[in-house]
Structure 1
Amino acid sequence: MCQQHTDCKIRRFQASLGRTAFSPHRHDVYTLGLTLRGVQCFNYRGGARRSLPGELVVLHPDELHDGHAGTDDGFTYRAITIQPGALGSILPGRALPFIEGGQSAHPGLLQAVRTALSHPADELSPLQQDEALFDIATALHAASGQAALDGQLDARASERARSYIHDHLAQPVSMQDLEQAAGQDRWQLSRDFRRLHGTSPYRYLLMRRLDAARDRIQRGESIAQTALACGFNDQSHMTRHFKAAHGLSPFRWKRSVTPVARSARTIVQD
């Protein structure tokens, strides 16, 4: 598996959905997916969307969405997830690109995503990851219509806060802790962190705990043990947050995920 803090810039997976539907949930990563077969339906930002084969879905970090098949035949899609912080060095001084409506037909973005998703069973080399990140980041910026630079952001302070979070995943973390670690006023830190990483410090901490939990569960550790080891109060506490983030309970997620390669995985739902 990828290391969450430094090495795992992107993840790729392919999924098939039949009768099962993903309940409303949200991630703190960008998700860019190409529909391969069938009709992919989802609700996003107050509207019902559908994606046909060859069309691109672009979900912004921290946006609530669900997912279900538009026909009895189900659907298949291939997707890539990107940590928002990975775009910071490519788009310095800019807020995260936002694609209205969760879908895009921008030719440059379509090409960049198709290239990144080709040969999903093959592990991407670090150079391939960097190239894919650059192409997708610049295409996302162009597709979003952003032009002017945003106000100055303190990326170093946000990175110090992010590092503190990773070093204290299983321990209580307060905004005061992050303020001291970052050397920045907590409210400015909250604003900068969200603009650079696509979510709040609290949500970032929660999602990293869920990442650690997911890896432990996939290695065969019990859900109850995993919950305590990853900083949750108990199994039900972790299960509630896990389903809110992934649309499935930890048990159903474990049954659904089959590793393909270290940078790709397949999910099959009936």
Structure 2
Amino acid sequence: MGTKTELPHATDWVRHAPAFAELESIEAFFSGHAFDPHRHATYAIGRTLAGVQSFSYRGAQTHSLPGETMVFHPDEVHDGRAGAACGFRYRMLYVPPALVQDVLGGRPLPFHREGVSLDPRLARATDAVFAVLDERPDALGRDAALFDLVSTLAEVCQAWPSRGRVDFAAALQAREYLEDHLDQPVTLDDLARCAGRDRWSLSRDFRAYFGTSPHRYLTLRRLDRVRLQVRLGMDLAQAAVAAGFYDQSHMTRHFRQAFGIAPARWLRGLAAAPGFSGAKAPLRD
């Protein structure tokens, strides 16, 4: 399953699976509090393996039991904690909306309102992706399992609600512009000119097809770059500026909002993992 990171509680742990292409996966156990409120730029799709996982999602308190499937839509705020004294163990898969669109080809993103699904089709499709990741598949095997998962999501979930007509080509152009300018200032006017749309129509386009605003997408991609640079040996302050943030404090605020922990805590756990040879300091939050 990959490296294991010890967390503040003696019984808590997180194992990060080796990354395969753009897919990230973890398995974890928490005895109590797990994560503060945060939101991802990806789908977070997972399975509760033991205990009770409790979280706040879309204004409701929700509980996931063994055998149930969690589906958090991109940009939806959620937290995580144990719902029983025995704690909880789970696996989670993080799927970027861009990969989902590779399968959907321009349809609005699937949207699951409740955060927990009892549908056996979604459970089987999610387990299949975990299984192929555990086997270190080639790209063909990974893509086949991912195709089945996204197709199942589209079958069992509603479409992401959008108002008015949306333009997939404009959203793609805006996303490509953001990817090419990750470390540079970008305005909504820049994106609108690039995509040939007005500002607010483009905002609707982008949310419909990539699950978040252009600003949030850019911020999360910059955080991805920070994490990569730190793994390669750059310290947090340098990585923050290199990724396009004003400074480390600016990056830290966004990091907490995105992942529910401070970057220094994330780095301490990463540094404790076997084989890590990246940055060791400074570790201030």
TM-score (norm 2): 0.82
Deviates most, 152-161 or 221-230: 152-161
Listed as ranges, the gaps of 5+ residues in structure 1 are: 261-270
User: Aligned ranges for residues 42-53 of structure 1 at < 5 Å?
Assistant: 42-53=55-66
Look up the match of 2:136.
Answer: 123
Task: Tell me the CA shift for residue 35 of structure 1.
Answer: 0.9
Alignment partner for residue 111 of structure 1, among 124, 138, 145? 124
Distance 1:259 1:16, change over 3 A: farther
Structure 1 residue identity aligned to 2:141 = Q
Look up the match of 2:89.
Answer: 76
Distance in 1 separating the partners of 2:72 and 2:197: 30
Is residue 182 of structure 2 the alignment partner of residue 169 of structure 1?
A: yes
Look up the match of 1:59.
Answer: 72
Distance in 2 separating the partners of 1:49 and 1:205: 30
| Counterpart contact for 1:93–1:151, Cα < 8 Å | no
Structure 2 residue identity aligned to 1:169 = L
Distance in 2 separating the partners of 1:25 and 1:213: 18
Task: Tell me the CA shift for residue 97 of structure 1.
Answer: 1.1
Residues 194-231 of structure 1, C-alpha deviations (whole Å, 9 max, x = no match): 10000010000000001111112233321111111111
Residues 163-184 of structure 1, C-alpha deviations (whole Å, 9 max, x = no match): 1111111111111111222222
Distance in 2 separating the partners of 1:64 and 1:200: 14
Task: Tell me the CA shift for residue 125 of structure 1.
Answer: 2.4
| Counterpart contact for 2:133–2:142, Cα < 8 Å | no
| Counterpart contact for 1:34–1:54, Cα < 8 Å | yes
Amino-acid identity (%):
46
Question: In the comparison of the two structures, how many residue pairs are matched?
Answer: 254
User: Aligned ranges for residues 1-270 of structure 1 at < 5 Å?
Assistant: 7-8=21-22, 10-118=23-131, 120-145=133-158, 153-257=166-270, 258=273
Distance in 1 separating the partners of 2:47 and 2:137: 18
| Counterpart contact for 1:42–1:48, Cα < 8 Å | yes
Residues 8-55 of structure 1, C-alpha deviations (whole Å, 9 max, x = no match): 2x3222122234420000011111110112211111111111111221
Task: Tell me the CA shift for residue 244 of structure 1.
Answer: 0.4
| Counterpart contact for 1:19–1:74, Cα < 8 Å | yes
Residues 107-147 of structure 1, C-alpha deviations (whole Å, 9 max, x = no match): 2111100100126444342212321222111211221155x
Distance 1:60 1:79, change over 3 A: same
| Counterpart contact for 1:227–1:235, Cα < 8 Å | yes
Distance 1:85 1:233, change over 3 A: same
Residues 28-85 of structure 1, C-alpha deviations (whole Å, 9 max, x = no match): 1111110112211111111111111221111011100000112343222111111112
Higher relative contact order (CA 8 A, sep 6+): 1
Deviates most, 10-19 or 160-169: 10-19
TM-score (norm 1): 0.86
